[in-house]
Every structure is written in structure tokens, then in C-alpha cells.
A and B are shown apart, each in its own frame.
Chain A
Amino acid sequence: MTVAMQVFDDADEAPDAGTSLWRDAWRRLLRNRMAVASGALLAVIGVLTLAAPLLPGVADPTAQDLALGARGPAFAHPFGTDLLGRDLFARVLYGGRVSILVGLVATLVSFLVGVTFGATAGYVGGRTDNVMMRFVDVLYSLPYMFLVILLMVYFSKSLWMLFAALGLVQWLTMARIVRGQVLSLKQQEFVEAARALGAGPAHIIFRHLVPNALGPIIVYATLTVPAVMLQEAFLSFLGLGVQPPQASWGTLVNEGATVMAFFPWMVIFPGFALALTLFCLNFLGDGLRDALDPHLRHE
């Protein structure tokens, strides 16, 4: 981390003495009111969905009440109920857990694969780099959602498959970003110093290069989460993603869309929850980029 602070701190743009890159970025982020509001809202959404089973007054999302059926929002059911009389508020909260989980895990997969791949290609360089990046180029030109659909249709439609399929198509951009960073970083003296001290390639890549490239990596990862959540919802909407009895925001919107003419709340509430979360994640990601990307620091 100490090295990370020095890398982007060119003398002419160094703020107050002793301010690290991270503290500087943090301060800039706090000044961005939309990003802070988005972060706060995300925290609320996160706590509500994660703690849903513990919250008092949240109904069991699978408890049916066939006699009740689909009813509009009321005091007992703030978001209304679905066709089987299940409480929609509870279903939206529990659906959010699945959506957010998919977003985070698939991003983690793309992070691990992309960072390892990109950093290795960039550090080793030469022909290896060339071959590895050609591979990325070829995969890039694939209509990858079609491949994800193929994977989901032909193999088991489990959550694990979903994580893997979505994560494995998201790592390409991450690999490119990390490679670019590593290419420029590896020329610097601290890498030479580490090598002179006898550090091996793996040590240099993961202890020296990757931590220094963390700014752009974090920014891209933040923007990957909403992208993945959107893709999960897209797949679930087509009936290929999360399978019943589990529900995600995508499957809830799909269910709601079919009966929208009669029970509009069934599409409005899950759709709103999904859009609001994506909106906040995008704003937070933008704020982080402005705060962390040294390229934009002068603006």
C-alpha cells in the first residue's frame, strides 16, 4: 500500500503534504453528493435485503394464501401480494438477496480471473502476452450473451452455473485494464528494486503490481456489479436464470410482466427495486472513478 501512494503522486499534483492517494480519493468521493447519497441508499438496500429473515414484520416469502390471491398494496402487504397470495414485499427483499449475491460473486469471479490473466500477460510480455491478448480479442468478438444462454440452457440451471457463466464473460475487460496498468507499472524502479532483492514473478505481480493498479480495478469492479445484476435479471426474465422456488428481481419482473394488465404492482415494485439499485451502483461507480482515476484528477 505504501508504494501505491507514491505512484500517482506526481509532485505537481500532490495535495497537502502527507495526504495519501486513498485519503485524497476518499475526500473527493465525499464531496460528490450524488455518490454519497447513492452509497447510503445502497447500504440501506443491502441491510434490508441481507437482514430480511431477521427483520420483524417481514412475512415468509414462500407462505401462500390462495384465498387472498393477488391484491394491491395495503397495510398488511405494503407491496401487495402475488397470484399465490405471497407477500410481495418479502419476495422483493428475498429476491434482492439473490440478485445482489449473483452480482457480487460473479464480479468476484471476473476479478480473480481477469486480474490474474491480465497481470500475467502484462508482466511476462513478449510473445506470451501477444498470444494471451489475441485470445481475449477473439473472445471479445463473441456474442457472449448467446454463449451464456447456451451454457444456461444446456447445463444445469444452478446458481453456481450462473456465477460461473456471468463471471467468465466479464473478466475480459478486467484483463485488458489490468494488463495496461501492469505494462506501464513494470517499467518503474520499485519493480526493479523488488527484482534485485530476489522477488519471484508471482510475488512481484501480486504484491507490487496489482496493489498499484487497484484504483482502476476497483472502479471497474464497481461498475461490473450492476452490469452483472442486469445480465442475471435478463437471463431470469427469459426463464434461464434463477429457477423457482428461488426468486430474483429478474424473475419477479418476469412474473409480473405476464399479468401486468391486471396486477400492475407485481411488475412495478420489483422493477423499481432493481432500477433503483442499478441506478445507485452506477452513480457510486462514476463517483469512484472521478475520485480514484488519476487521469481525471485535473478536471
Chain B
Amino acid sequence: MTRFVVRRLLSIVPTLWVIVTITFFLIRLAPGGPFVSEREIPAEAKAALSAKYGLDQPMHVQYFRYLTNVARFDFGPSYKFPSRSVREIILGALPTSLELGGLALLFALVIGIPIGAIAAMRQNSAWDHVPMGFAMLGVSIPNFVLGPLLIFVFALTLRWLPPALWGGLSHKILPVITLSAIYVAYIARLTRGGMLEVTRQDFIRTARAKGLPEWRIVVRHALRGGLLPVVSFLGPAVARAVTGAIVVEKIFAIPGVGQYFVNAAFNRDYTLVMGVVIFYAGFLILFNMIVDVMYGLLDPRVQME
């Protein structure tokens, strides 16, 4: 177990190195620099700026310096907000994004698992067909369609909830629903599929034969195995929540990491863009590792080697 975790932790290093390298050269090879703007900057000022950020150095020097800096969790200063470092910007916006993503995933689990479990227990009844039809609908409605529709209905027409920004609980309802709708649907479908598979197995029949009450069979025996697909979905789910949050943050004008990323990409703020990509890559890899370990704990059949 410990060896498994240590080995997985070590395997993060080469993966991150590949990511840093790809991002670095992708951005440097792209046309247009960070100081290209409509307003013509005097040549001396441009040279001074390039020197300040080390852009006048040969490519390999820049690359190795960046690598060593990243290893120390230093992504350099932002090109567009020169007074702030990239690390400051990311860490400043991160709590908001984490809260949005965390609430959305939590909401999806709390709603999706019971729906899927009930659908599996009452297979081919209305309890199965109606929620699963809605789940398919949820998978098919993009969040950037759902978000504006929710704003239109609940904020602009009914005036129950604020249409934008991030603040108290009332601000969080619409963005969280927008971001989580697709996960509620996915998790319900996965739970249903997992439960259907598990309930055909012998140990469930044994539990029934022992005369255990149905709810106990479901909660104690079936759910544990039935949730395995949901657990393995958590890794990709978090990855998608990170990208989904970009859209939701844009729709609701929430000052999270995604907003900064899109703006930075448009502004050619090299350091900020690279910082966000590398930071999220590391975050996702770490999260996937935690999911793998959880998977092993839940399913004794999985050998950790």
C-alpha cells in the first residue's frame, strides 16, 4: 500500500515535466508576444521589458530557468498584472473555484447516488424510466445553455435569486446547479449500472436468503460494490468540473481561476496561462491518485502493485 502510494507520487514528476515542457514550447512558438498591443511601444521600452522578464535570453536558458522555478512553485510575475505574482493570483482565486467545484460535486453525489440506487432497485418501473430519462436530458444540456436559462427563469423572471456574482448562499444556488447538472445525471446513471451488476451476484442472494431487510441489503452490501464506477468517475469528473467552471464563472461573473485563465489566454499573459495549466495538471494528477487509492480500499479485489 505505502509502496503503491510512493510510486504513484514519484510518477507525478515525469508527467508534470512533460506538461511543463509542452506548455512552455507551445506558448513560445506561437506567434505574437505578450507586449504586442494596439498601442505601439517604443523599441527601448520593449527591449527593457524583455530583459526584465528574461525574454531576451536564448530559448533553452529560459526553459531551464522556468523548470527550476516551477520546481519551487514559483511561476514568475504575471505579464499583465506586473505587481502580482502568478502564484498570488492563482491562490487568490482558487478558494472561490474550489468552493464552486466542491459544492457542485457534493450536490451531484448527494442527489445522484440515491436516484441511481432507487432506479436500479425498481428496474423497468416508472422509478427507473422517469429519472433516467431526465438523466439523459441532463447529460445532453450543455451548462452554457442551462446557466442562461436558469438565470432567465429564476433571476430575471421570478426574481427569486441573484443573476450573477459570488456572495451569500443565494448567489451559490444557480451556479452550483448549473455546474452539477451533468454530474447528477452521470452519477445517477453510473450508480444504476453498478448496482444492477452487483445485485446479480451471489453474495446479494446470500444476504437475501439470510432474510436481511431490503434496505440493509442495499445500503450495506450492494452500494459498496455498486459505487465503484462512481468512484472511478470522480477523477474525470473533477477534471471536467475544472473546465466546466470556466464557463460557469463566465456566465455568472464569478471571480475564479477559470475567469483569469480565459482572460490571460486572450491577453497572451504567458506566465499566468502556464501557471494555471501546470497548477491544474498537478492538482488533477494528485486527485486521480487519491481516487485510485480509494478504489483499492473499497474493492479488496484490486491489487495495489
A interface list, Cβ under 8 A from B: 138, 141-143, 145-147, 149-151, 153-155, 226, 230, 233-234, 237-238, 240, 250, 253-254, 256-257, 260-261, 264, 267-268, 271, 274-276, 278-279, 282-283, 286
**A279–B137 Cα gap in the complex (Å)?**
6
Most chain B Cβ neighbours within 10 Å, of A153, A155, A226, A271: A153
List chain A residues, Cβ under 8 A from B151.
Answer: 260
Interface residues of B in 179-210 (CB under 8 A from A): none
List chain B residues, Cβ under 8 A from A143.
Answer: 239, 242-243, 277, 280-281, 284
**A233–B265 Cα gap in the complex (Å)?**
18
Whether B142 lies near A141 (C-beta < 8 A) is no
Given contacts A146-B276, A257-B148, is CB(A282)–CB(B30) below 8 Å? no
**What are 17 A-B pairs at a CB distance below 8 A?**
A141-B281, A142-B19, A143-B281, A145-B246, A146-B243, A146-B261, A146-B277, A147-B26, A150-B26, A150-B265, A153-B265, A154-B30, A234-B142, A257-B147, A267-B149, A274-B145, A278-B139
List chain A residues, Cβ under 8 A from B242.
Answer: 143
List chain B residues, Cβ under 8 A from A276.
Answer: 140
B165 within 8 Å of A by Cβ? no
Given contacts A146-B276, A146-B277, A153-B266, is CB(A254)–CB(B144) below 8 Å? yes
List chain A residues, Cβ under 8 A from B280.
Answer: 143, 146
List chain B residues, Cβ under 8 A from A250.
Answer: 144
B12 closest partner in A (C-beta) = A141
**A151–B31 Cα gap in the complex (Å)?**
11
Interface residues on chain B, size class: 35 or more
Whether A147 lies near B246 (C-beta < 8 A) is no
Whether A261 lies near B142 (C-beta < 8 A) is no
Interface residues of B in 118-169 (CB under 8 A from A): 136-137, 139-142, 144-145, 147-149, 151-152, 156
A145 closest partner in B (C-beta) = B243
Interface residues of B in 250-305 (CB under 8 A from A): 250-251, 261-262, 265-266, 268, 273, 276-277, 280-281, 284-285, 288
Main secondary structure of the interface of A (DSSP, over half): helix
Whether B142 lies near A278 (C-beta < 8 A) is yes
Separation in Å of the A150 CB from the closest CB of chain B?
A: 6
Interface residues of B in 223-256 (CB under 8 A from A): 239, 242-243, 246-247, 250-251
B interface list, Cβ under 8 A from A: 14-15, 18-19, 22-23, 26-27, 30-32, 136-137, 139-142, 144-145, 147-149, 151-152, 156, 239, 242-243, 246-247, 250-251, 261-262, 265-266, 268, 273, 276-277, 280-281, 284-285, 288
Whether A274 lies near B142 (C-beta < 8 A) is yes
**A89–B276 Cα gap in the complex (Å)?**
40
Whether B273 lies near A150 (C-beta < 8 A) is yes
Separation in Å of the A103 CB from the closest CB of chain B?
A: 13
Whether B139 lies near A282 (C-beta < 8 A) is yes
List chain A residues, Cβ under 8 A from B284.
Answer: 141, 143
Whether A150 lies near B148 (C-beta < 8 A) is no
Whether A267 lies near B145 (C-beta < 8 A) is yes
Separation in Å of the B149 CB from the closest CB of chain A?
A: 7
Given contacts A141-B15, A146-B243, A283-B136, is CB(A260)–CB(B156) below 8 Å? yes
Separation in Å of the A165 CB from the closest CB of chain B?
A: 11
With beta carbons under 8 angstroms apart, the residue of A151, A264, A268, A279 that contacts B140 is: A279
**A25–B277 Cα gap in the complex (Å)?**
43
Whether A282 lies near B239 (C-beta < 8 A) is no
List chain A residues, Cβ under 8 A from B144.
Answer: 233-234, 237, 250, 253-254, 257
Separation in Å of the A237 CB from the closest CB of chain B?
A: 4
List chain B residues, Cβ under 8 A from A237.
Answer: 142, 144, 247, 250
Q: Known pairs A138-B14, A276-B140. 16 more at Cβ < 8 A? A: A141-B284, A146-B243, A150-B277, A154-B27, A154-B31, A154-B32, A233-B142, A253-B144, A257-B147, A267-B148, A271-B148, A274-B142, A275-B145, A278-B139, A278-B141, A282-B139
A257 closest partner in B (C-beta) = B148
Separation in Å of the B293 CB from the closest CB of chain A?
A: 16
List chain A residues, Cβ under 8 A from B288.
Answer: 141
**A121–B26 Cα gap in the complex (Å)?**
27
A152 closest partner in B (C-beta) = B265
List chain B residues, Cβ under 8 A from A271.
Answer: 142, 145, 148-149
**A275–B146 Cα gap in the complex (Å)?**
10
With beta carbons under 8 angstroms apart, the residue of A234, A260, A261 that contacts B247 is: A234
Separation in Å of the B239 CB from the closest CB of chain A?
A: 6
With beta carbons under 8 angstroms apart, the residue of A138, A149, A233, A283 that contacts B262 is: A149
List chain A residues, Cβ under 8 A from B243.
Answer: 143, 145-146, 234
With beta carbons under 8 angstroms apart, the residue of B142, B152, B251, B262 that contacts A230 is: B142
